[in-house]
Amino acid sequence: MQFQWLAQPWWVNLLALVPVLAYLGWRRCGLELSRQQLIYAAIFGAAFGFVEAAVVVYLRAAVGLLPGYGGTLDEVRRLSSAIYQQAQAVGQLPESLLRVEVFREAATLFVLVTVALLAAERRRERFAIFLWVFAVWDICYYAGLWATVRWPSSLVTPDVLFLIPEPWLAQVWFPIAVSALTLVAVVLGRRTLQE
């Protein structure tokens, strides 16, 4: 697979600007987030990322896109890692399951927003927590998929990142890079508090 710089549709690439612009807004006043808030939010994001990965594995197994799912986890890994192509599998989902997938993605966003609303009082810190949890969730989602079915096989593996309002397509490196940049932006934007 060849490295691709751009995601599709074109506007998905603008997501790379979100952590940079957020940091530029935060650096003047700093974020009032404690280490404890970030740790708890990260624990939630990591757990939720694995839950999302498990849901995707179950969904693929249910529609027959995951070979070896009736055996051991080692058999699933061995048989599915080479053919588990996320970007192509979305087109193979029945319309009813595709609709459920869109609602699942919307529910995921609501969960992440709700956690941010509960974790902080001010709008800027809530936005930072939302980005923080989203980034941890996204990285742990890919880590969970790799741990269970050995997908993605590389960072240049194509993926469907999101379906709302239309499918977002990119290689796996793109969401991981944006998520990593987001984590750095939140840490650098944070004002040191007495903890």
In tens, the pLDDT along 2-57 reads: 999 999 999 999 999 999 999 999 998 899 999 999 999 999 999 999 999 999 88
Whether 184 is in a domain gets the answer yes
Kindly give, in sequence order, each residue whose CB lies less than 8 Å from that of residue 172, ignoring residues fewer than 6 positions away. Answer: 142, 152, 154, 155, 156, 157, 158, 159
- Answer yes or no: is 51 within a domain: yes
Distances in Å between the Cα of 152 and the Cα atoms of 29, 30, 54, 77, 163 are: 39, 36, 14, 11, 19
* Most confident of the ranges 52-56, 108-112, 156-160: 108-112
Is 22 within the bounds of a domain?
Answer: no
Does 2 fall in a domain? no
Q: Does 18 reside within a domain?
A: no
Q: Report the pLDDT value the prediction gives residue 87, as an integer from 0 to 100.
A: 44
pLDDT of residue 65 exceeding 70: no
pLDDT of residue 50: 97
In angstroms, rounded to a whole number, what is the distance separating the alpha carbons of residues 72 and 51? 19
As a whole-number percent, the residues of the chain with pLDDT over 90 amount to 66
Higher pLDDT, 59 or 186: 186
- Whole-number pLDDT of residue 96: 79
Which pLDDT score is estimated for 90? 57
d(CA 137, CA 195): 25
How far apart (Å, rounded) are the C-alpha atoms in residues 181 and 195?
25
For residue 4, tell me if it sits in a domain.
no
> 191: which DSSP letter?
P
Q: What is the count of structural domains for the chain?
A: 1
What pLDDT does residue 83 have?
Answer: 47
pLDDT greater at residue 169 or residue 84: 169
To which H or E segment does residue 131 belong?
A: helix 123-149
What is the widest separation between alpha-carbon atoms in the chain?
55
Measured from the Cβ of residue 170, the count of other Cβ atoms closer than 10 Å reads 23
- Looking at the domain assignment, is residue 110 inside a domain? yes
Domain that holds residue 172: 33-188
DSSP 192: P
Q: What is the pLDDT of residue 80?
A: 52
Phi/psi at 5 (5° precision): -75, -35
In a domain, 19, yes or no: no
